Chain A
Amino acid sequence: MAQPGEPGSLSSPDARAAVEVSGLSRRFGSFQALDNVSLTIREGEFFSLLGPSGCGKTTLLRIIGGLDLADSGSVAIGGEAMERIPAHRRPVNTVFQSYALFPHMTVAENVAFGLRMKKIAAADIAERVARALEMVQIGSFASRKPAQLSGGQKQRVALARALINEPRVLLLDEPLGALDLKLRKELQVELHTLQRRLGITFIFVTHDQEEALVMSDRIALMRAGQIEQIGDAEEIYERPRNRFVSQFLGSCNLIEARGWSPGGAGESLAETPLGTLRVEGGGAPTAGRESFTLAIRPEKLRLLPAGETGENRVPARVSQVIYIGSESHFQLEAGGRPLLAYAMNETRGAHELEPGASLTVHLPAASLLALED
C-alpha cells in the first residue's frame, strides 16, 4: 500500500538522509508489528511517526535506536549501516515514554550519565551538565532525585540527558503522553523551538494528530505496521490518500461515487447519491474504477440559503447544531446520508439554524478529492 521511500513534496535532491530505513519487518509471535517499511528521514528535520496504538511506530523507533532488532530490512544512520552496531554505540539517543530516569541518581547524575560512559573528564562533564540543565530550564533542580520532580520536570531531565550527548538523531517516544494538556502544549512549542535551534534531527512518535501537525516538518502516518502516507502537515491533511488517512487526521466527509466521466481539463464528473459532482481537486486516478470514494473536509462545505441551485449545490436538512464558540458544527442530511459541516461564527447568531431547517450545501469542486480506496 505504502510506496517504499516515497519522498514528500518538500523533497529536494540535495537533502541528505539522516536515517534511511528500507524493507524493515518485525513480527512478535503472530503479530506483525512492522511490514516491509521503508522511509528516508532528512538531516535536521522534525519527523513524526503518527498512528493509532499498535501501528508499529514505537517498534520502528526502537529498531532505529537499536533497542529492538528487525527480522529483515536495514537501517542506516548518517549513511552508515547499523546492523552490527549495538544500541550503546549508535549515534542516537532516546527520550523514553516513561522517562526512564535512573531513580537512584540525582538530576545532574542522570544528565551526566552519557558523558560518563564516554569517559569525558569530570570538569568538562560538570560544565556541560550545567549548560544542558540551563537549556531545558531546570538548573535549580540539579541535586534532586527524580522522585521529587513533577512529570514536566522529569520530561525536561530526560530531554537534557539525551541531548547532552549531541546525538545525530534524537528519538522521542510519545514524550508528552503522560502530561496534562496545558503542559503538553507548552512543551510542544518548546520542543519545536529547541529542535530548530539545535538543528538535530528529531524522530517523534505520537498518536496525537494535533501534536504531529503542530510540530513536524514531515509526518509518516502508520497503520498495521505499514506507512500509509508521508508528507508535510498540509499535504497529509489536504490531500489524504485513502479513507484511513482522511479519518485519522481531523474529520472528513466520505461520499461513495459510482460512475465517472471526464469533464474539461483536470476535472471530472462523479455520480454520487448527492447527484453529479464536478471534481477539480484531483487525488487518486479514478479512470477505469467502477466505484470509489470522494472526500471533503467539513470546513470546506459552504452553507447557502435553501433553494439555491447550481453546480455541486445540494439541498440538505439540519439535524444537529453544536456551538463551539469560534465555530459551529452542523450535522446535516443530504441525499439520505449524513454530512458534517464546520462554519466560523463570523457574526453573532450565525449558528442559529434550527434542527430541521432546510438549506443548500455547496461542495466546492476544488475541495473534492478522490481517494485510493
Chain B
Amino acid sequence: MARRAAAEVRFGEQLTPRSELLRSALVSGPAIAWVSLFLLIPLVAVVGMSFLTRGSYGQVGLPATFENYRRLAGYGLLGYDPLYPQIILRSLLLAAGTTLVCLLAAFPLAYFIVRLPGRFKNAALTLVVIPFWTNLLIRTYAWQILLGPESLLARLASALGLAPAGQPLYPSTLAVYLGMLCAYLPFMVMPLYSSFEKLDWSIAEAAMDLGAGGPQVLRHAILPQVAPGMAAGVILVFIPAVGQFVIPDLLGGAKTVMLGNAIQQQFGASRDWPFGSAISFVGMALVMLGLLLYARSAARRGEEGLL
C-alpha cells in the first residue's frame, strides 16, 4: 500500500513515504502541538490531580486514592449526603432546560430569518449576534435592571396580576431561564440557520404532494433535513450551559450551588484542588458520555457524523 502510494504521481512529483510523512507532520504538527500543550496535558493533569490528597494547608500530595470521587458521590466525613450529586444533577437539568428553551425559540427564529429577503437576512443575523459584543456579566446585570422593581416588565407583570406590585421579577427561575436563553440563543440560531438555508424545499413540497399535512411535513420532510443543525446547536448550548454559574447566581439569587460554583469554590476559597479536579472531571465525563451516546445513535440512523 505504502509502496503504491510512493509510486503515485501527484502534482507532477513523486513522493517517497518518508517525505510524505514529513509533509503531513509539517502541516498538522502545529495544530497537534497546540492541542497537546493546551488541552491534552492540562486534561491529564486534572485527571491525575483528582486522585491526589489535599494537605492541611491546601497543598497537593500523596497518597493517591479514590477518596475525592467517594466524597463527590456523597459519602463524606459526616455520613451520606447527596449534596454533590444534587449539584451535578441541578446543573445538567439547567443545561437541558436551557437547551430545550433555546431550541424552541431558535427553530421558528431561524426559519423566519431564512425566509426573509436577502438584504434583511444579514441584518437579522447581525441582530442575533449583537449581544455577543457585550460581556456576559454586563448582559446579565442588564437583565437585573430589566426585571427590577420599577421596570416596565415588573409593572406589566403586576398589572396583569402575575406578580405583586413593587417587587423585582428576580431572583426567580424565570429570570434564570431568560438570562440563559439570552446568553445561548445565538449558538442555537446559527447552526439551525445554516441548516435551514440548505433546506431543500422541494422535499417538503413532495411530502405535501403525497398527502402530508403541516405537522407531518415538519416531521418527515423538514426535521430530518435540519437534524444536523439541531444536533450542532444542542451540543454548542448544552456543553457551556453545564458549567454556567454566573447567570443562576445573579438572576437566581445565589442560593443554590451549580457545578461551576462548586469547581470554582474548590479551586478558590476551599483550596482543595484535588477535589475540584474530581468535580471537573466527572462533569466533563458525563458530557462526553452524552455526546458519545448521541453519536452512536446518529451513526445507527445513518446520519452524517458530527463527532
Q: Which residues of A are interface residues toward B (Cβ below 8 A)? A: 65-67, 86-89, 92-94, 96-98, 100-104, 113-114, 117-118, 145, 161-162, 165
Q: Can you report 26 A-B residue pairs in the complex whose CB atoms are below 8 A from each other?
A: A66-B208, A67-B208, A86-B208, A86-B213, A87-B205, A87-B209, A88-B209, A88-B210, A88-B212, A93-B210, A94-B206, A94-B209, A96-B202, A96-B206, A98-B200, A98-B202, A100-B202, A102-B207, A102-B221, A103-B203, A104-B224, A117-B212, A161-B206, A162-B209, A162-B210, A165-B211
Q: Which residues of B contact A (CB under 8 A)?
A: 200, 202-203, 205-213, 216, 220-221, 224-225, 301-303
- Do A100 and B211 touch across chains, with their CB atoms under 8 A apart? no
Q: Point out the residues of chain A lying under 8 angstroms from B205, CB to CB.
A: 67, 87, 94, 96, 100
Complex Cα distance, B202 from A103, in Å, reads: 12
Name the residue among A88, A93, A118 with the largest chain B CB count within 10 angstroms: A88
The answer to whether A102 and B211 touch across the interface, beta carbons within 8 angstroms, is no
B213 touches A88 (CB 8 A): yes
- Chain B residues lying within 8 Å of A102, measured Cβ to Cβ, are 203, 206-207, 220-221, 224
Chain A: minimal CB distance from B84 (Å) = 41
CB pair B210 A161 closer than 8 Å: yes
Nearest residue, chain B, Cβ from A171: B209
A97 to B205, CA, bound (A): 12
**Are B208 and A145 within 8 A (Cβ)?**
no
- Contact A117:B210 (CB < 8 A) given known A102-B224, A104-B224, A145-B302: yes
Whether A117 pairs with B209 at a CB distance below 8 angstroms is no
Q: How far is the CA of A100 from the CA of B199 in the complex (A)?
A: 12
Contacts of B202 in A (CB 8 A): 96-98, 100
CA separation between A68 and B200, bound complex, in Å?
16
Contact among B203, B212, B216, B220 with A100 in the assembled complex (CB-CB below 8 Å): B203
Residues of A within 8 A of B302 (CB): 104, 145
Chain A hits for B224, CB < 8 A: 102-104
In whole angstroms, what is the CA distance A278 to B301 when docked? 74
Question: What's the nearest-Cβ distance from chain A to residue B117, in Å?
Answer: 11
What residue in chain A is nearest B208 (Cβ atoms)?
Answer: A87
Task: Please indicate the chain A residues that have their CB under 8 angstroms from the CB of B212 in the complex.
Answer: 88, 113, 117
Bound: A161/B205 CA distance, A: 14
